[in-house]
């Protein structure tokens, strides 16, 4: 009788292990490869609760025009060109959001700039918001999108410098765009990663019960790359950072449990400029840097920009 019970229990255990293995295989092959490249598309009108002040520029006392820019591969990029409150403006700053967000989430940053006489361009990255494109490629295609944006906004800037400000995904795109396009005179980089493979392992572990596997990550990324037609292994903002010789301000929260602060420190250390700066935001996680030290960060950013555009 005991042998029969043991045999039955063994069969149940084997069946459970088999079911679990099948479930894991399904997630690895059919869920994880899409989890990064197919982000949530935030449409403000469908997510009004996220915008208690509204989601139009005038809700933030901003004045500007809607712009639509064709990317190199034909994808339509949607944005707002927001005018600085001085004439002429001191410079124009392209502002990039994080994954799953949209241009309207950046109106607060834009307001900081426009009040001090900077034009701002808030942009929906491809596969986000109102921009076209089916897949996010973490800078592989997006860096060329930014090049197209620079082409379009330069005639609107009156010959003043163009810079870039990106957070998380936007920060990774910004570094890669700065390497590609020397016309981008300065950058502000928040809470971003150094190598896509490394951050993919961090995010994958959240979905795989804390498991960090290089083999598993590479398998998922290879499939993601095949689906979205890009090379995930080549997305390395730290390599781009090493080719930058212009002013860059980095900031990162010391309690970021999404992207470890060490990742962004590698980017900072790689930049080849005497005008680079670093800010460790105390007691801040991944998304709350400005809640933790907003007034101080505002002063630091505006001081940096003034130095960056100085003759």
Helix (H) or strand (E) holding 120: strand 119-123
Q: What is the mean pLDDT of each run of 10 residues along the chain (311 residues)?
A: 66 64 60 90 95 96 96 97 94 98 98 98 98 98 98 92 98 98 98 96 63 81 96 97 98 96 98 98 96 94 97 80
State the Cα–Cα distance between residues 301 and 299, nearest whole angstrom: 6
Chain position carrying tokens 């990317």:
71
Domains with residue ranges and CATH for the chain: 55-214+232-308 (3.40.50.1820)
| CA-to-CA separations, 239 to 30, 71, 175, 195, 242, in angstroms, rounded | 30, 24, 9, 9, 5
Instruction: Give the model confidence (pLDDT) of 117-139 as tens digits.
Output: 999 999 999 999 999 999 999 99
Chain position carrying tokens 């197209």:
148
Reported pTM: 0.92
Q: Are 126 and 69 in contact (CB under 8 A)?
A: no
């Amino acid at each position: 009788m005991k042998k029969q019970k043991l045999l039955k229990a063994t069969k149940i255990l084997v069946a459970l292990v088999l079911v679990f293995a099948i479930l894991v295989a399904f997630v690895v092959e059919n869920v994880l490869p899409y989890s990064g490249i197919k982000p949530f598309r935030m449409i403000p009108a469908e997510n009004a609760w996220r915008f208690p002040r509204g989601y139009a520029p005038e809700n933030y006392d901003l004045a500007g025009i809607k712009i639509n820019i064709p990317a190199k591969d034909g994808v339509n990029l949607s944005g707002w060109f927001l005018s600085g409150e001085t004439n002429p403006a001191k410079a124009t700053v392209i502002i990039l959001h994080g994954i799953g967000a949209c241009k309207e989430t950046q109106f607060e940053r834009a307001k900081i700039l426009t009040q001090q006489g900077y034009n701002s361009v808030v942009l929906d990255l491809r596969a986000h918001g109102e921009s076209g494109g089916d897949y996010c490629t973490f800078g592989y295609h997006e860096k060329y999108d930014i090049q197209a944006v620079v082409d379009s906004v330069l005639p609107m800037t009156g010959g003043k410098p163009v810079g870039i400000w990106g957070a998380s995904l936007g920060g990774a795109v910004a570094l890669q765009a700065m390497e590609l396009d020397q016309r981008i005179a300065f950058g502000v980089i928040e809470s971003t990663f150094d190598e896509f493979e490394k951050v993919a392992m961090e995010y994958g572990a959240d979905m795989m019960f804390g498991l960090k596997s290089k083999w598993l990550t590479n398998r998922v990324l290879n499939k993601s790359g095949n689906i979205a037609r890009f090379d995930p292994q080549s997305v390395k903002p730290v390599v781009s950072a090493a080719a930058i010789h212009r002013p860059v301000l980095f900031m990162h929260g010391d309690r970021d449990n999404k992207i470890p602060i060490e990742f962004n420190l590698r980017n900072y250390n790689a930049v080849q400029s005497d005008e680079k700066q670093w800010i460790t935001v105390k007691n801040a996680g991944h998304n709350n840097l400005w809640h933790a030290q907003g007034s101080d960060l505002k002063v630091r950013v505006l001081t940096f920009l003034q130095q960056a555009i100085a003759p």
